[in-house]
A and B are shown apart, each in its own frame.
Chain A
Amino acid sequence: MTKEQKRGGVPLPLTHVDGTVPTLIKTRKRDEWQPRIVAFFCNWCTYTAADLAGVSRMKYAPNARVIRVMCSGRVDPQFILEAFAKGADGVLMGGCHPGDCHYSEGNYKALRRAKLLKRFLKDMCVEEDRFRLEWISGAEGEKVKLVIDEMVEKVRKLGPLNLPGRFADWDSEISVLEEKICAKEEKEGAAHHG
């Protein structure tokens, strides 16, 4: 018995019966960079729409990591900056259409925050297409697909944001000195004992 059979699973076919390689496997190399999108979806509309898209078996880019929040008004700008700082290439916020908020005004707060945050991000040289707010109702599964596909393509064109990598690069300038001081101390310590 193979390992897969023991687990009760079926190994993923690397080729179709006719010998052709499935596109998903062919186009996605392990090391190839893929956009990472963090998506904050409101429980009442956009998350339901994403659910609908799934149930309807719509195919869309697999790059969005959806985080369900109770309301788009719950999305603190800190979450968005944190997502970028932790390695997101783009952040998508989804909420109910104006007038439809389950909590009456949460989405207006989200809209005002997003507008101000966009200006802040622009000043910090984070490209505009990396952050997006969309109103998607529970019935608009198709819009989830469109918005995610479009955003993934735009972010793909921009390339990786890679803030964790940039931070490490910026900080290499201080670690050089740290290493030098440590080496000097070790040398002095050795001389002292020797």
Chain B
Amino acid sequence: MADKPKIAFYWCASCGGCEEAVVDLAEDILSVVSAVDIVLWPVAMDFKKADIEAMPDGSIAASLINGAIRTSEQEEFVRLLRKKSGAVISFGSCACTGGIPSLANQFEKERILSYVYEQAPSVINELKTRPQLESKGDEGHSLELPAFREMVRPLDEVIKVDYYLPGCPPTPKLIKEAVTALLTGKLPPAGSTLAPDTALCEECPRKDSKPADLAISEFKMPSGAVIDPEKCMLAQGFICMGPATRGGCEALCIKGNMPCTGCFGPTSRVKDQGAKMLSCVASSAAGKEDAEIDKTLAGIPDPVGTFYRYGLAKCRLRGKADRVPGKGVRQKA
């Protein structure tokens, strides 16, 4: 046991799909489990924070952390794992680019809390009680809760990340490759993303049906139209994030006849995935006159949710700009 490299899995603001992805390794998980010593995996095993705190610094070979960062507890835990680990791998879209949870960056904290605890139709809370960071129990003992942060952050805005494994969730093939690379020490330079650095279109089975000039005259939603199973999604008017999204998923959604929604994030040459896709879609739309352009672009009802579905936290604007500076930000850690 002592000779095996130690691996930790941890989850932050995530849905649990990334944990599922590890189990999706199917029988291969047995070879992983026999090759490593799992020291932390909250979803499956009973190890506590104190167990990690007791380990010497740098003694964990790699920590695979999924989920975005929204609370002080998550910050504290990932800082602990950073200290104890040789390598930290940002696992999945939420950890890499903020993921679905970071769409909440469109709203300030106060608006989220007041909706969830007061305004939502399913809530009855006449006293407007909200969770407090500290409260006294009936027997005089005090209770503490983690702080809910002003915004959602990707993992690398809180701690240094060595490798990125994108995807919602990362595919078993990429996980296997990453774990193999870790165990054999054949890792690319630090800071790399463990997936191909080409756009999804490169590996798309429909690539040849994409015309040079798309000239999209009508944007359609997959929910409201029939999708041709052979033809390029963009050529059919469905927004497919393929051109602005990193490949490596082997076009899973396309093979399931659904357009790409961008979970693998951008390639290394793109800084802002959503802005790049917005650029691609707008330049591929038909129309030269104002009225014609407005009509075409009205087919995209939600630019933020469409272009930044998995990466609003990595948008250059990071979130809604008019949060009141200083208000509720400097709070007790």
Contact = CB atoms under 8 A, between A and B. Distances in A.
B323 interface: yes
B282 A82 contact: no
B28 interface: no
Interface in A98-119: 98, 108-109, 111-113, 115-117, 119
A126 B329 CA distance: 20
Contacts of B75: 174, 177-178
B331 A76 contact: no
A58 interface: no
Interface SS majority for chain A: helix
Contacts of A174: 75, 149, 153, 157-158
B150 interface: yes
A125 B278 contact: no
A35 to B, nearest CB: 16
A77 B323 CA distance: 23
A65 interface: no
B151 interface: yes
A143 to B, nearest CB: 19
Interface stretch (B118-126, B180-188, B199-207, B286-294): B286-294
A140 B330 CA distance: 50
Interface string B275-291: 11011011101011000
Of the listed residues B75, B151, B279, B294, the one surrounded by the most CB atoms of chain A closer than 10 A to its CB is B279
B321 interface: yes
Interface stretch (B60-68, B88-96, B249-257, B311-319): B311-319
Contacts of B322: 125
A165 B287 CA distance: 39
Interface in B290-321: 293-294, 297, 300, 302-304, 307, 315-321
Contacts of A124: 106, 304, 315, 317, 319-321
A173 B330 contact: yes
Q: Which of B153, B275, B302 has the most CB of A within 10 A?
A: B275
B329 A112 contact: no
B100 to A, nearest CB: 17
Nearest to A125: B322
Contact of A173 (B274, B303, B331): B331
Given A78-B316, A82-B271, A163-B317, A170 B276 contact: no
A55 to B, nearest CB: 32
A110 to B, nearest CB: 9
Interface of A: 73, 76-78, 80-82, 84-85, 98, 108-109, 111-113, 115-117, 119-120, 123-126, 161, 163, 165-167, 169-174, 176-178, 180-181
Given A169-B325, A177-B75, 10 more contacts: A85-B316, A113-B279, A113-B282, A120-B307, A123-B106, A124-B319, A124-B320, A167-B318, A173-B331, A174-B149
